Amino acid sequence: MTHLSYASGPSAAPLLGDTIGADLDRTVTAHPDRDALVDRTTARRWTYAQLAETVDAVALGLLDLGVGKGDRVGIWAPNCAEWVFVQYATAKLGAILVNINPAYRVHELEFVLNQAGIRTLVATPSFKTSDYAAMIDEVRPKCDDLRDVLLIGQNSWTAVLDAGAGGDRARLAEIGRTLSADDPINIQYTSGTTGFPKGATLSHHNILNNGFFVGELCGYDEEDRICVPVPFYHCFGMVMGNLAATSHGACIVIPAPAFDAAATLEAVAVEQCTSLYGVPTMFIAELNEPSFDSHDLSSLRTGIMAGSPCPVEVMKQVIERMGMEEVTICYGMTETSPVSTQTRADDSLDRRVSTVGTVHPHLEIKIVDPETGVTVPRGTPGEFCTRGYSVMLGYWREPEKTVEAIDQARWMHTGDLAVMDEHGYVNITGRIKDMVIRGGENIYPREIEEFLYTHPDILDAQVIGVPDHKYGEELMAWVRLRPGAEPLTAEALRAFCSGRLAHYKIPRYVHVVDEFPMTVTGKIRKVQMRAESIDILGLSEIASTSHA
């Protein structure tokens, strides 16, 4: 009998039925004096008791401003302690936290403020070359719902903190009794590479449980210290980082406002972190950081690599050179809170470096034929779908787009291509929309990227399709080279691939870059790469040719 590509996740641990605020309060009661949060940039730290005091002060201050259940509160800032305070304070009020991408500019900011109907905006005044305060002033007249803007570190923010510090915490307990774990609590705008992003709306139940079970599979307890260089703006930071930590009494360590390889390695060493997170490009940067050997990383035990496909060779180096013997791979998407599969610490090395693991606890997954929707046999590629507590409530104010993503049986269709083996382990082979069709051959860039990582001079590689008169599409590789490597030509790369890849999978073009265009969450912007490549190669005329 042929086994189908379907699996469900058994678990000895039940789902949590609490709100985020109630779960935090339970942890504070159990571990009041343990470290909860460390902000390395400002040299500040909080125990769980101190964190609870500050979170409650922020919540009561927002309450005095009129923020209540269901109101949208935006947060526009890089990673900082205040981001964490606002995350938990809004949860205690039943307000909906709206994560705003730190890379947004005026046009995007205006869209999110209006689309979400943000009432109160918490923001840092500026960061690097971004003048957030000026951009807010520019869009504010165009945003009818926006009443209050609180700038971190300035009077508007400190006034809220001061007012809340003297407030009655019994008011929060009273509000807590009116909240349901199924209430919407967070809107995360998907990292749209074309057009405007969609706001994935998530509940307490969605993200608290996902953070908890990510932590369970990492083996977290109150002794763990999690270094979180990934952005809080994304699920990777605020769910897999913050909620995984607080639901287990572990400590959140913020190494820097934005990713910095040296600062991350220093934070791990100084704070004796047991876990480290990152997208593959972050781990690549850390492994190639000149100061790498000067940092004592012996405290590391586990961590998570996720956010985009994880190169096998990079995973092996993370285990061997960083000592992260129990490092896990997670796979998911914002709309599923985010994690659907994860490798386990007791998985074989081969499975931990070459798959995204098996189904998460309490979830279902299946792989279907993208055309028919029928579940395919194991070993057959198709579209990855997931169902269960983690699936979002929907896209904020966009019911039509919600129906396009979630079918009538509540399966979330991810748009990712995957294969499930006979033991239930999953490989992500690419995006349906990333697929390149060259002369009738379906080519999945991920396969070629994995091969290019074996080239001794290539540090990182991304493969895209570009227009071609003869074949419809041709392959182009964008590569980052190791320091000191000789220039790489297309001819040299083709010679390296010849005889080792099918001829139609060998890239015709090569473009050497220092960095790839990326979203703030570490996803490669292949749409932008394709547009730039068309200009670089002079293919505009071909690209404008219409096809049936």
Q: What are the domain boundaries of the chain?
A: 1-16+193-431, 18-27+45-180, 435-543
Dist CA 83 CA 124 (whole Å)? 10
Q: Label residue 548 by pLDDT band (50, 70, 90).
A: very low
Q: What CA–CA distance (Å, rounded) separates 185 from 21?
A: 11
Question: What's the confidence (pLDDT) of residue 14?
Answer: 98
Can you tell me the distance from the alpha carbon of 11 to that of 428, in angstroms, rounded to the nearest whole number? 24
Whether 547 has a pLDDT exceeding 60, the answer reads no
Peptide bond into 102 cis (omega under 30): no
Q: 76-85, 120-129, 383-392, 517-526: lowest mean pLDDT where?
A: 517-526
Assign domain 1-16+193-431 to a CATH class. alpha beta
Q: Put the strands of the sheet holding 363-368 in their side by side order.
A: 6-8, 363-368, 382-388, 412-420, 426-431
The pLDDT score that the predictor gives to residue 545 is: 63
> Does residue 10 have a pLDDT over 80?
yes
Residue environment code for 475-493, b if the CB has 16+ CB neighbours within 10 A, otherwise e: bbbbbbbeeeeeebeeeeb
Which of 528, 490, 527, 532 has its CA nearest to residue 512? 490
pLDDT digits (tens, 9 = 90+) for 156-184: 999 999 999 999 999 999 999 999 999 99
pLDDT, residue 192, reads 45
CATH architecture of 435-543: 2-Layer Sandwich (3.30)
Residue 78 in this model has a pLDDT that exceeds 80: yes
pLDDT at residue 383, as a whole number: 96
Q: Rounded to whole angstroms, how far apart are CA atoms 326 and 163? A: 45
Q: Which pLDDT belongs to residue 56?
A: 98
Q: Which fold has domain 18-27+45-180?
A: Rossmann fold (3.40.50)
Residues 6+ apart with CB under 8 A from 230: 236, 237, 241, 259, 277, 278, 279, 282, 307, 521, 522
Q: What percent of the chain has pLDDT over 90?
A: 81
Angle at 493 between CA 491 and CA 499, to 5 degrees: 100
* DSSP codes of every residue in 2-55: PPBSEEE---SSPPP-S-HHHHHHHHHHH-TTSEEEEETTTTEEEEHHHHHHHH
Do 239 and 191 meet the contact criterion of CB atoms below 8 Å apart? no
First-to-last alpha carbon distance for the chain, in angstroms, is: 41
Task: Estimate the crossing angle of helix 312-322 against helix 280-287, to 10 degrees.
Answer: 50
The pLDDT score that the predictor gives to residue 432 is 83
Q: Residue 128 pLDDT > 50, yes or no?
A: yes
Instruction: Give whole-number Cα distances, 90 to 73, 158, 445, in Å.
Output: 7, 17, 41
Write out the two tokens for 237.
Answer: 């930071």
258 pLDDT tier (thresholds 50, 70, 90): very high
Query: Is 440's pLDDT higher than 80?
Result: no
Q: What is the pLDDT of residues 482-525, one digit of tens each?
A: 999 999 999 999 999 988 887 888 999 999 999 999 876 677 88
Least confident of 21-35, 68-82, 289-303, 533-547: 533-547
pLDDT beyond 90 at 226: yes
User: How confident is the model over 81-106, as pLDDT tens digits?
Assistant: 999 999 999 999 999 999 998 888 88
Average pLDDT over residues 405-422: 95
pLDDT averaged over every residue in the chain: 93
pLDDT at 127: 94
How large is the angle between the packed helices 20-30 and 48-64, nearest 10 degrees?
150
Looking at residues 373-384, what average pLDDT do you find?
A: 96
Q: Find all residues with CB under 8 Å of 102, minimum gap 6, and list them.
A: 76, 77, 78, 127, 130, 231, 233, 258, 520
Closest by CA to 375, choosing from 335, 407, 420, is 420
- Tokens 């945003």 found at: 143
HSE, CB side, 13 Å, CA atoms: give it for residue 105.
2
Contacts of 110 (CB under 8 A, 6+ apart): 139, 142, 143
Q: What is d(CA 354, CA 546) in angstroms, rounded to the nearest whole number?
A: 39
| Average pLDDT of span 415-443 | 87
Largest CA-CA distance found in the chain, in angstroms, rounded: 73
Domains 1-16+193-431 and 435-543 share a fold: no
Name the band, by pLDDT with cuts 50, 70 and 90, for residue 353.
confident
Enter the DSSP assignment of 503: G
pTM, entire model: 0.87
Q: Give me 450's structure tokens.
A: 């994995």
